[in-house]
Amino acid sequence: SQQGEEDPQALSIQEGENATMNCSYKTSINNLQWYRQNSGRGLVHLILIRSNEREKHSGRLRVTLDTSKKSSSLLITASRAADTASYFCATDPQGGKLIFGQGTELSVKP
Amino acid sequence: EPEVTQTPSHQVTQMGQEVILRCVPISNHLYFYWYRQILGQKVEFLVSFYNNEISEKSEIFDDQFSVERPDGSNFTLKIRSTKLEDSAMYFCASDYSSATGHFGPGTRLTVT
């Protein structure tokens, strides 16, 4: 079964708009994390939300977690061209290894 | 802030050759991981390492792969006889608890 599936697969917006990416998963989790990856580069950890948390903020990022629906969303407010990247959710179902989704490719046009 | 480092950043090797990818985890971390990402695909778990032994490995991590923590600071991934399909970005990660958060910048492995 697939764990950590994001949608949309690709998202194109104008600078200044908000970007929302969603992630769904199948099994129970300890936490869910969001990562960013610029093309061909490393993974940058953005935010971790624990299974007993519902919402978390970090700067222009807002993450929500709904464990009853097994879904999470990442909102980037007031997007900038520099936010252009791929965004992945990753779940930690058993403690330890992370299971990554396919990612959302975000393009922010200036 | 301390970071996970990886060397080399890019390795080109011929099919059938052995490669060793090196990682220096953050110094007080206890859990170590290798992941890989084939171009255009998602990041996949390979292996986790704790207390000087493998704690979990995926189906990808077959007999051609091995990991070692030879000197208490480095953490290596060895591929004994590389195949074309081993071409990927390999990421090392470490953490002091079992919730992975700290990834290295990756080593791009190209097998020709």
Give the 3-state DSSP-derived string for chain A, with helices as H, strands as E and coil as C. Answer: CCCCEEECCEEEEECCCCEEEEEECCCCCCEEEEEEECCCCCEEEEEEEECCCCEEEECCEEEEEECCCCEEEEEECCCCHHHCEEEEEEEECCCECCEECCCEEEEEEC
Stretches in chain A below the pLDDT threshold 70: 1-4, 95
Note the pLDDT of residue B67. 97
Rg (CA), chain B: 13
Q: Are the beta carbons of B99 and A92 separated by less than 8 Å?
A: yes
CA distance A106 to B9: 25
Split at pLDDT 50, 70, 90, the class of B1 is confident
Query: How far apart, in whole angstroms, are the C-alpha atoms of residue A108 and residue A84?
Result: 5
Asked if the C-beta of A93 comes within 8 angstroms of chain B's C-beta atoms, the answer is no
Question: A93 — alpha (psi -120 to 50), left (phi > 0) or beta?
Answer: alpha
pLDDT digits (tens, 9 = 90+) for B20-29: 999 999 988 9
Is the Cβ pair B106, A45 closer than 8 Å?
A: no
Which residues share a beta bridge with B76? B22, B68
pLDDT at position B40:
86
Which among B100, B101, B105 has CB closest to A42? B105
Per residue in A12-22, pLDDT tens? 999 999 999 99
Model pLDDT, residue B87:
98
Contact B89 A30 (CB under 8 A): no
The yes-or-no verdict on residue B10 having pLDDT over 90 is yes
Of B33, B42, B103, the CB nearest to A97: B33
Tell me the pairing of strands A5-7 and A19-24. antiparallel
Pairing of strands A85-92, B102-103: unpaired
Predicted confidence (pLDDT) at residue B101 exceeds the cutoff of 80: no
Q: What integer pLDDT is reported at residue B98 of this predicted model?
A: 67
Predicted local confidence at residue A1, as pLDDT: 41
Nearest chain B CA: its distance from A14 CA (Å): 24
Smallest CA–CA distance from B30 into chain A, residue: A96
- Residue for token digits 């990402």? B37
